Amino acid sequence: MRRYLIIAPEGTSPSGLIGETLLEAGAAYDTIFPVEGHATHAPFAYPGVPREPGDYAGLVVLGGPMSANDVDEHSFLAETMALLRAFDAAGRPVLGICLGAQMIARAYGGEVYRMESFESGFYTMRLTPEGGADPLFAGLGPEITSFQNHFEAVRGIPGAVPLATGGACPIQAYRIGARVYATQFHPEVTIDIVRDWVRKFGRAFTDAEPRLLTDLDRQFQDSFASHRRLCRTLVRGWMKLAEA
């Protein structure tokens, strides 16, 4: 059985639909919560962020409230950036989500910058020509819809191939090489995950986007089915990279 490693920088940002898809495919996964100092596979002795891939087939790095630029305040950021490059060097796939995508950008020489406005809720994005031909995104059609929740975005990543664009930032998904993928959007979220964010972060999010309070149920009713299909398609395609 293939086992994957997940880094979850925020306790209320678990693997959600990504973890569900891994299990449905017959795989298993371990999760490290570096801020909380907890790991599911070592509940009594936190092992920290590993330096090498070990036996893991691939690495997923999820989102969190900090910036990928905050390396002085959060040591796990630099540790995770080194780890994702180690996975890439070992020929094993990496998937970065939101903060994870921003860590990938920094690890490969790109810039993480503050956007002019907060982007939160379901948004429809367009695939680039490269996205339409990409092994993971091909067949999804010219547009995709998924959930956003971010103040920052990425640009200027040497060698990155933009795969999707739209909404508040030009790069919504990109690829580096053949096995490193990043999405600014959150294909993993469920409505319960987003509600946990609202409960924990409150006005830091809702003042910037009141629809998190007033329109969340309708958004999920309208968009969750296609959002879930997108997650399953992307993760299953990404898992195949571990088999190559």
Distance CA 119, CA 183 (A): 14
Instruction: Note if 41 is an active site residue.
Output: no
Q: Does 98 qualify as catalytic in the annotation?
A: yes
CB 56 within 8 A of CB 5: yes
Write down the catalytic residue from 10, 74, 98, 119: 98
Q: Which of 10, 119, 152, 188 is catalytic?
A: 188
Instruction: Report the amino acid identity of residue 176.
Output: I
List the Cα angle 139/95/117 in 5-degree steps: 90
Backbone angles phi and psi of 160, in degrees to 5? -75, 145
188 has catalytic annotation: yes
Angle at 172 between CA 171 and CA 177, to 5 degrees: 75
Residue 218 three-state SS: helix
Nearest to 97 by CA among 211, 198, 18: 18
Q: Which of 74, 150, 186, 227 is catalytic?
A: 186
Residues with catalytic roles: 98, 186, 188
